[in-house]
């Protein structure tokens, strides 16, 4: 009897100090055939930010949220996580289809499914509609970039880790050409690609770009192409206004005339393809190592949270 009570007490303590994953069966039109999952933090804010997390290939939504460190941050700061999940019926490696025209066109395919998930969580949770963000890794980062381009009014900011410029690919063959750095364009051409796909003259979400210096899957050249695309969208130049070093990694700032950083880039020294994490107990530490989670002595999620202004 005492052992049973002890086990029940431990379960209660664990539940009281841990948030919860949920699956949502219905969220409106789902032309992309994706799954919707959410994470509710331990003590959500009364008017909480929302971070949309897009996992990489061969990952699950829960794995990405946990190993990247976002679960720890969500529990500490009280914001919600939306976890769109790819299925093998769409892609055998569970990659988001960032390279398919039908999946990155406004109100069509996977991108529309993700948009409808956001609308659903906004209607069922106390989400601050002015504090919605998106980030992802690799294929997830590329889809995140397309969300920023095609639904700019939805997001306050976004972060792309080992991602590709929006519109770089329209077929699977194009995708490999982009990943290996064979598709380069001028800043003007990258900007025109976004405006062609969704003409928009309103406020644009700020963008954080992360890239491993030794990435062989998504060549580092793509990070500079992303800088060109998003600085051009903001009408600022492609020369960094400030550069600093954090834990041995270069951090570039691209600012407007008032000194506000609209685009930033982290080039992670010596890193291959994956999410930079920093396991440990320091305030800036988060994440755990594993396949496509790289101990780089810097936790991307923490610094992205600071860029979003939802983490301190």
Tokens of 139: 């294929």
State the pairing for strand pair 80-85/127-137.
unpaired
Neighbours of 81 (CB within 10 A): 23
Q: What's the first-to-final CA gap in the chain, in angstroms?
A: 45
CA distance 303 to 307: 6
Q: Which one is catalytic: 68, 113, 138, 208? A: 138
Query: Does the active-site annotation cover 138?
Result: yes
| Gap between the Cα atoms of 14 and 86, Å rounded | 29
> 177-180 long-range CB contacts below 8 Å, 24 or more apart?
178/99, 178/222, 179/217, 179/218, 179/219, 179/222, 180/219
> Helix, strand, coil shares of the chain as percentages rounded to 5?
35, 25, 45
Residues β-bridged to residue 40: 20
Asked if residue 222 lies in contact with residue 165, where contact means CB atoms within 8 angstroms, the answer is: yes
Q: Classify strands 261-268 and 20-24 as parallel, antiparallel or unpaired.
A: unpaired
- In the DSSP assignment, the letter for residue 39 is E
Residue appearing with tokens 């800043």: 187
Which residues are tagged catalytic?
A: 138
């Amino acid at each position: 009897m005492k052992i049973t009570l002890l086990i029940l007490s431990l379960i209660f303590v664990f539940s009281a100090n841990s948030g919860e994953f949920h699956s949502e069966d219905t969220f409106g039109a789902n032309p992309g055939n994706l799954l919707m999952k959410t994470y509710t933090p331990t003590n959500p804010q009364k008017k909480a930010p929302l971070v949309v997390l897009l996992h990489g290939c061969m990952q699950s939504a829960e794995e990405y949220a946990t190993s990247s460190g976002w679960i720890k941050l969500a529990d500490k700061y009280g914001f919600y996580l939306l976890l769109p999940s790819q299925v093998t019926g769409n892609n055998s490696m569970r990659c988001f289809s960032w390279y398919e025209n039908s999946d990155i066109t406004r109100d069509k395919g996977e991108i529309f499914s993700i948009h409808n998930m956001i609308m659903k969580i906004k209607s069922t949770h106390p989400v601050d509609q002015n504090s919605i963000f998106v980030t992802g890794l690799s294929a997830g980062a590329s889809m995140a970039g397309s969300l920023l381009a095609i639904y700019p009014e939805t997001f306050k900011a976004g972060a792309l880790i080992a991602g590709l410029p929006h519109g770089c690919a329209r077929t699977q063959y194009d995708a490999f050409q982009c990943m290996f750095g064979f598709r380069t364009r001028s800043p003007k051409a990258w900007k025109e690609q976004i405006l062609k796909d969704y003409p928009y003259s309103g406020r644009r979400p700020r963008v954080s770009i992360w890239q491993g210096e030794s990435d062989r899957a998504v060549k580092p050249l793509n990070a500079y192409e992303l800088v060109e695309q998003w600085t051009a969208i903001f009408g600022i130049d492609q020369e960094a206004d400030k550069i600093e070093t954090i834990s041995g990694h270069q951090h570039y700032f691209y600012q407007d005339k008032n000194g506000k950083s609209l685009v930033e880039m982290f080039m992670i020294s010596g890193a291959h393809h994956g999410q930079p994490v920093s396991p440990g107990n320091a305030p800036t530490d988060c994440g755990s190592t594993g396949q496509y989670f790289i101990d780089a002595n810097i936790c991307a999620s923490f610094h992205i949270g600071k860029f979003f202004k939802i983490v301190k």
